[in-house]
Structure 1
Amino acid sequence: MNVRSHVIVDAAISPYRRGEIPLAMPFIDSLPDNSVTLLDKGFYGADLLLSLQNSGINRHWLIPARKGLKYTLLDEEESNDMLIEMKVSLQARKKNPSLPEKWQVRAVTYEVQGKQKTVFTSLPRTNYDAKAVAELYHERWEIELGYRDIKSSMQHKAQVLRSKTVDLVYQELWGLLLGYNLVRREASQAAVEHGRMPNEISFKYACQFIASQLKVMSKAISPGNTPKRLKSLRGDLSILFIDKRPKPNRPRAVQMSKTRYPVNRKAAPLK
């Protein structure tokens, strides 16, 4: 997902037995040059990250550091912005013999709400200072907001999909992603025309507005007038811009499953 526009760049769906990293490897070929890929800690792996930075032109990555990793400091002393070297695991090299025995990463440490956070990146120090790297990684939260829009605005917080067979589950998921991208594309085009950021448009209301307009266009407007109507639609979206709000401090929690039995939240613990 593009964190600035929330448009989905690529997607893959598979059975749950397939891990996230093998599922992500084919994405490398579709990444644009001169880009930075922001990943969560579940995608940490020398094979994926080295393959990413060695492909294309000027492709870089940014990911949270794993705790407890052993490394060799390549700078004269430790700091909040240092170059380190780590060993590539034997398991990774067995799967991909072209991997080196060791690899170098840049470790940037910063403070958030009194806590120290460290991220690894391939971005060079000469072009990006430690503050810029820290601020850039915080944009990864925009991806979570995009997922929220699909689950909340499009799915109305439904716990499960409607489909009952494997083929229909795939069809429903691809349909959701396609519909989401149609809304995001029009919202992005409207933002460009109004000189605003694409993620400043309320997705919930844009989805409702665009869906209703597309239904009208498909029935009452000739194909030749579609470009003119789309331009008018993007102008109408100007009323849906919102001011960006700071990310709320809401710790993640497991959602309680529905039950027909009453739940006593003050019950004494089992002994």
Structure 2
Amino acid sequence: MHPWIGRSDDVRLGALTAWVTPELVDDVLAECGRGGVKPGALSPRFMVYFTLALALFAQDSYDDVAENLVGALEGMDETIPNRASFTRARQRLGPEVLEAVFRRVRGPVAPAKVGRAFWHGMRLAAVDGFVLDLPDNKANREFFGGWSDARGAPAGFPQVRVVTLTETGTHASIDARIGGFNGGERELAVQMASSAAGMLVIMDRNFPGVELWKAYTHAGAHLLLRARSTVASRPLEVLADGSYLGRMSLAGQRASHPGGVTVRVVEYRIDGGELIRLLTDLLDVEAYPAAELAALYHDRWEAESAYRQVKTFQRGPAQVLRSATPALVHQEVWAHLVVHHCLNGIIMQVAYGEETDPHRISFVKVLKHVRRSVIRQTKDAVSAVGAFLAILEAKVRRKLDTGPRRSRSAPRVLKRPDSKYSPSVKKQQHGPTQQVPAKVITLSPAMLQ
């Protein structure tokens, strides 16, 4: 009989156990039909924590992650099961359990007193997406897809697409969807509309469309979307602040088609640059001034900051996910989303206790502290959370606080080009990040044509 039988259920996930409690895990396992399993060395509850630990220690091997989990339990670190056993246990667990855990812990975490998380009483959120590289095998490429060259031959890694609804004030995940590389971000975004009720949702110019607009507004959400120059470009009525009412039509239809929607259009330039067009359903020019809406669109970049936390710091830069089958890829991505959300929940809790902006607290340092909590506090994780948070709050004053954000600029370059001989790569201007003056936003009043 393996020494882990009857003991693996005692394993916890350090400070993250306060968010992913054993009770929550057991409820999810029962809900997904994984409960009541005969006790074994790799019990279902242990495998939930192990899969989350794979995301927390993304660059470690299976046995290293297992040692991190059981190191505080006497004797367990001496009898680590082999890699094949962990893989089979992950396959038995399936992706549905980790998705259900995400559905239980997700949601906004900023209280009403966090001003940057709200605007005119509406919680601010952003929708955007990113992709993650996968092991290059037939199963992953057929299921998820990936880049191809001019001849249609596979190029680079297969990729999974993730689209999230992110709370801009904290980087917490309100909702998320997973799809293939060949699928569109807009289709995944539409599926999250019901989670955005009562919020002001910001999106970039890849998303505007009548279907998405109706899905979010019918769900009780408000929208602030950047649009291409051809969308709602004809003013129907110019408003007092220079913004105007226009029509966004169904693809291939006239603006007068009844299937379209009426939108308010705000146009402006930053430092005299290109004309930026925003669409919103907030039509009251006195309650929602155009200048404030133009300045607010910048908060969309908080979603990119959240993705950097996942892709660069939590997963590791340019790291390929470890899962070799589509089901395990889904499981691994959901685990990353759970861990990332919980880490930002910790940051918000610490920031609220210290009355500071959560964006000023270093995600990297909190990530390292949480990893250490898994190794050091496995035995008594839940009761140690209070002391853990107290330690973080004390360190905010010395180490974790990164200070107020500065206006900075850096050349936007392709970090992983397909070929070093590509002409577009040669033309890129590399350079250091530099501090720059605050951007000047200038509204461009519309005129009836």
Query: Do Structure 1 and Structure 2 share a fold, with TM-score over 0.5?
Result: yes
SS at match of 1:150: helix
Q: Tell me by how many angstroms 1:222 deviates.
A: 6.1
Q: Tell me by how many angstroms 1:7 deviates.
A: 0.6
Q: How does 1:119-158 map to 2 (within 5 A)?
A: 119-124=278-283, 125-158=285-318
- For residues 82 and 195 of structure 1, the distance between their equivalents in structure 2, rounded to whole angstroms, comes to 40
SS at match of 2:321: coil
Task: Give the counterpart of 1:49 among 213, 219, 230.
Answer: 213
Q: Tell me by how many angstroms 1:163 deviates.
A: 2.1
Q: Which TM-score applies when normalising by structure 1?
A: 0.82
Q: Tell me by how many angstroms 1:85 deviates.
A: 2.4
Change (3 A) 1:170 1:196: same
Q: In the alignment, which residue of structure 1 is the partner of 2:324?
A: 164
2:226 is the alignment partner of 1:64: yes
Instruction: Decide which structure has the larger Cα Rg and report it.
Output: 2
Q: In the alignment, which residue of structure 1 is the partner of 2:189?
A: 24
- For residues 238 and 340 of structure 2, the distance between their equivalents in structure 1, rounded to whole angstroms, comes to 49
Q: Tell me by how many angstroms 1:71 deviates.
A: 4.5
Spell out, residue by residue over 1:202-246, the C-alpha distance to the aligned partner (whole angstroms, 9 max, x if none): 111111112212432323x364x2453354244235241122323
- For residues 180 and 259 of structure 2, the distance between their equivalents in structure 1, rounded to whole angstroms, comes to 32
Change (3 A) 1:63 1:181: same
Q: In the alignment, which residue of structure 2 is the partner of 1:105?
A: 263
Q: In the alignment, which residue of structure 2 is the partner of 1:236?
A: 394
- For residues 197 and 205 of structure 1, the distance between their equivalents in structure 2, rounded to whole angstroms, comes to 16
127-136 or 69-78, larger mean C-alpha shift: 69-78
Change (3 A) 1:241 1:222: closer
Alignment: residue pair count: 253
156-165 or 35-44, larger mean C-alpha shift: 156-165
- For residues 49 and 264 of structure 1, the distance between their equivalents in structure 2, rounded to whole angstroms, comes to 38
Preserved CA contact (<8 Å) 1:151 1:157:
yes
Task: Give the counterpart of 1:15 among 159, 171, 180.
Answer: 180
Preserved CA contact (<8 Å) 2:204 2:227:
no
Q: In the alignment, which residue of structure 2 is the partner of 1:198?
A: 358
- For residues 110 and 214 of structure 1, the distance between their equivalents in structure 2, rounded to whole angstroms, comes to 49
Change (3 A) 1:76 1:134: closer
Letter in 2 for 1:113: D
Preserved CA contact (<8 Å) 1:88 1:100:
no
5+ long unaligned stretches in structure 1: 92-98
- For residues 139 and 222 of structure 1, the distance between their equivalents in structure 2, rounded to whole angstroms, comes to 36
- For residues 89 and 263 of structure 1, the distance between their equivalents in structure 2, rounded to whole angstroms, comes to 38
5+ long unaligned stretches in structure 2: 1-165, 427-449
Q: Tell me by how many angstroms 1:247 deviates.
A: 4.9
Q: Percentage identity across aligned positions? A: 27
Higher strand fraction: Structure 1 or Structure 2?
2
Spell out, residue by residue over 1:162-201, the C-alpha distance to the aligned partner (whole angstroms, 9 max, x if none): 2222222222211211111121100001111111121111
SS at match of 1:9: strand
Preserved CA contact (<8 Å) 1:20 1:43:
yes
CA RMSD of superposed structures (Å): 2.9
Letter in 1 for 2:210: A
Preserved CA contact (<8 Å) 2:196 2:219:
no
2:276 is the alignment partner of 1:117: yes
Change (3 A) 1:157 1:103: same
- For residues 106 and 133 of structure 1, the distance between their equivalents in structure 2, rounded to whole angstroms, comes to 11
Spell out, residue by residue over 1:75-125, the C-alpha distance to the aligned partner (whole angstroms, 9 max, x if none): 25897411222433358xxxxxxx943321111112212213221111232
- For residues 146 and 179 of structure 1, the distance between their equivalents in structure 2, rounded to whole angstroms, comes to 12
Task: Give the counterpart of 2:249 among 62, 87, 105.
Answer: 87
- For residues 164 and 214 of structure 1, the distance between their equivalents in structure 2, rounded to whole angstroms, comes to 26
Change (3 A) 1:207 1:168: same
Letter in 1 for 2:266: V
SS at match of 1:218: coil
- For residues 238 and 188 of structure 2, the distance between their equivalents in structure 1, rounded to whole angstroms, comes to 39
Change (3 A) 1:258 1:110: closer
Preserved CA contact (<8 Å) 2:222 2:281:
yes
Preserved CA contact (<8 Å) 1:13 1:170:
yes
Change (3 A) 1:120 1:218: same
Change (3 A) 1:263 1:101: closer
Preserved CA contact (<8 Å) 1:109 1:118:
yes
- For residues 201 and 27 of structure 1, the distance between their equivalents in structure 2, rounded to whole angstroms, comes to 28
- For residues 280 and 422 of structure 2, the distance between their equivalents in structure 1, rounded to whole angstroms, comes to 47
- For residues 104 and 49 of structure 1, the distance between their equivalents in structure 2, rounded to whole angstroms, comes to 10
Change (3 A) 1:182 1:237: farther
- For residues 348 and 258 of structure 2, the distance between their equivalents in structure 1, rounded to whole angstroms, comes to 41
- For residues 159 and 80 of structure 1, the distance between their equivalents in structure 2, rounded to whole angstroms, comes to 47
Change (3 A) 1:253 1:78: farther
Q: In the alignment, which residue of structure 2 is the partner of 1:210?
A: 370
Structure possessing the higher relative contact order (Cα contacts under 8 Å, 6 or more residues apart): 2
